[in-house]
Structure 1
Amino acid sequence: MSSKVLSNKDNLQVIYEDNHIIIINKRAGDIVQGDKTGDKPLSDVVKEYIKDKYNKPGNVYLGTVHRLDRPTTGIVVFAKTSKALPRLNKLFASKDISKTYWAIVNNKPPKANDTLINWLKKNPKNNKSYAHTKEIKDSKKAILHYKLIKTLQRYFLLEVNLETGRHHQIRCQLSNIGCIIKGDLKYGAQRSNKDASIHLHARQIQFTHPVSKEAINVIAPLPKDAIWEACSN
Structure 2
Amino acid sequence: MSYINKSISIYGTDKDFIKAVVDELTSADSRIVCETDIDAEFANEDASHKVTVIFDMNGCYKLRFVREAKSQSVNYWYMEQVVNDTVTNGAKVYYSNTLYNIDAVATRTWKMIFVSNDNAIAMIFGNYNSDMTNSYSYNVFSYHENGFNVVSLIPNEPAASKPALSAELLRTDESNKNEVYKISVNRLNYSRGEEVEIIGSKVLFKSDIAEHDMKNVCDCSNVTAGNALLIDNNKYFSINSNTLIKA
Structure ranking higher in strand proportion = 2
Under a length normalisation based on structure 2, what TM-score does the superposition of the two structures give? 0.29
| Larger RCO, structure (CA 8 Å, separation 6 or more) | 1
Under a length normalisation based on structure 1, what TM-score does the superposition of the two structures give? 0.30
